[in-house]
Amino acid sequence: MNLDLDRRTLGLLAGVLVAAVAATMFLTGRGQSAEPVALASMAAVPLASAVAASPSPSVSAQSQVVVEVVGKVRQPAVLTLPEGSRVQDALEAAGGARPGVDTTDQNLARVLVDGEQIRIGLRPAPAGDPADTTGSTAAGLIDINTASMDQLQQIPGVGPVLAQRIVTYREQNGGFQAVEQLTEVSGIGEATFAQMQPMVTVGAGG
């Protein structure tokens, strides 16, 4: 009898032990599989938030206007400014007007238009002068005191770099008094001036 009882007791104990081990493995297995899922879910939340918060390049891109500021300013240049900028913004970006230059003829509050030229401190063409506002005369000559960058490049031997030097020279010296002063511009030698001379004249701004 005692032997049978011991066998039954050992059997019950073995069964309980097996059940306990199985339960432990089950619970441990569930805990290990649940933890990575929970961590993955937590990691996905900030990632999704970051993506949603990132601005679209097409939305953040800002429209711009390109204008040319010439005349008696500290830094004449072609400028790229945000759309909606005013004449005052362009003047400030060019370093402001030179001391003593009157800007009352400008509407500083006007909104800029892409591609326009802003002329500061340059005298208008005198009455009866054959030069028109485009920088070309009735005879087809180009007025080097009023011509734009594009018009200067129509002169034989003049490219973008030389045109900019001509503009810079006339702005720093208050204009040309005679076409011969072109030889004082860096890059214009006797040969280049000989090409240019039949096509140029001096009008307003000198």
Beta strands in the chain (DSSP E): 64-71, 77-82, 117-120, 142-143, 200-201
Q: Is the dihedral of CA 126, 129, 134, 136 positive or negative?
A: negative
66 phi, psi to nearest 5 deg: -115, 125
pLDDT value at position 144?
A: 95
Reported pTM: 0.37
**21 or 52, which is more confident:** 21
**67 Cβ contact partners less than 8 Å away, ≥ 6 residues apart:** 78, 79, 81, 90, 112, 113, 114, 115, 116, 117, 118
Pairwise CA distance, residues 203 & 145, whole Å: 6
Structure tokens at 201: 């004249």
Percent of the chain topping pLDDT 70? 61
Q: Hey, what are 135's tokens?
A: 């920088």
- pLDDT tens digits along 108-122: 999 888 878 888 887
Query: What mean pLDDT comes out for the span 155-168?
Result: 92
CA distance 119 to 68: 8
Mean predicted confidence (pLDDT) in 165-181: 93
